[in-house]
Amino acid sequence: MDKLPKTLDWNKTRAFLATAETGSLSGAARRLGLTQPTLSRQVSTLEQELGVILFQRNGKSLVLSEAGQNLLPHARVMSNGAEAFSLRAAGQVQTTEGHVTITTTDIIATHFMPRVFERLRREAPNITLEIIARDDIQDLHKREADISIRHQRPQEPNLTARKLADMPIGLFASPDYLDRLGRPCTLARLKSADFIVYARSARMQDYLNSFGLDINEANMVITCASGCAVMSYVRAGLGVSAVVKTIAQAAGLEQVLASKSGVAVPIWLVTHQEVHSSPRIRLVFDLLAAELNAQFRS
Per-residue confidence at 137, pLDDT binned at 50, 70, 90?
low
The C-alpha atoms of residue 231 and residue 247 are separated, in whole angstroms, by 9
Is position 272 within any domain? yes
The C-alpha atoms of residue 263 and residue 171 are separated, in whole angstroms, by 9
Same domain, 206 and 292: no
Same domain, 130 and 189: no
Which of helix, strand or coil describes residue 120? helix
Q: Which residue has the higher pLDDT, 277 or 27?
A: 27
Is position 36 within any domain? yes
Q: What is the mean pLDDT of residues 36-42?
A: 85
The C-alpha atoms of residue 16 and residue 260 are separated, in whole angstroms, by 52
Q: What is the mean pLDDT of residues 1-18?
A: 70
pLDDT cut 70: percent of the chain above it? 83
Say how many C-beta atoms besides its own lie within 10 A of residue 289's C-beta.
15
For residue range 228-260, what is the model confidence (pLDDT) as tens digits? 999 999 999 999 998 989 899 899 999 998 777
Is position 4 within any domain? no
Whole-model pTM over 0.85: no
Same domain, 161 and 173: no
The C-alpha atoms of residue 281 and residue 94 are separated, in whole angstroms, by 10
Long-range pairs for 132-135: beta carbons < 8 A, 24 or more residues apart: 132/101, 132/102, 132/103, 132/104, 133/103, 133/104, 133/105, 133/106, 133/109, 134/103, 134/105, 134/106, 135/105, 135/106, 135/198, 135/225, 135/226, 135/227
Does residue 88 surpass a pLDDT of 70? Answer: no
Tell me the residue range of the domain where 223 lies.
Answer: 168-263
For residue range 103-134, what is the model confidence (pLDDT) as tens digits? 888 889 999 999 999 988 888 888 888 888 87
The C-alpha atoms of residue 193 and residue 177 are separated, in whole angstroms, by 10
Note whether 279 and 91 are within 8 A (CB): no
Does residue 1 surpass a pLDDT of 50? Answer: no
Beta bridge partners of 248: none
Same domain, 162 and 277: yes
